[in-house]
Amino acid sequence: MFEHSRTQSLFERDDEERQLALQYLAEAWRNADVEGVEKEALAHAALFAAIATLVEQYGEAPIAKLLEKLPGQVELGEYTVDRTIQ
């Protein structure tokens, strides 16, 4: 799912630590896929872990505000990995 060639441009402006984190997540994702973990279950677990981590770091209110922006970002294609930008 998170093939390097597809996601590299999404993170060109981000630092090396985020690149490394994405590589770790991609490897974990591939391993879970090989083990037969359903992609939907893996995605839900990843979202839960990410949101729980952010809430622990920043608190409920700021993360709730952050999450309010997600529907618009999804509709604009910001999370569509295979999109072609013209």
Q: What is the pLDDT of residue 42?
A: 93
Q: What is the pLDDT of residue 14?
A: 63
- Binned average pLDDT, 10 residues per bin, the chain of 86 residues: 47 73 93 95 95 96 95 91 72
Helices of type H across 2-78: 4-7, 16-34, 39-58, 60-68, 70-75
Task: Look at the block and give the residue holding tokens 């770790």.
Answer: 24
What is the distance between the alpha carbons of residues 29 and 75, in angstroms, rounded to a whole number? Answer: 24
pTM of the predicted structure, to 2 decimals: 0.70
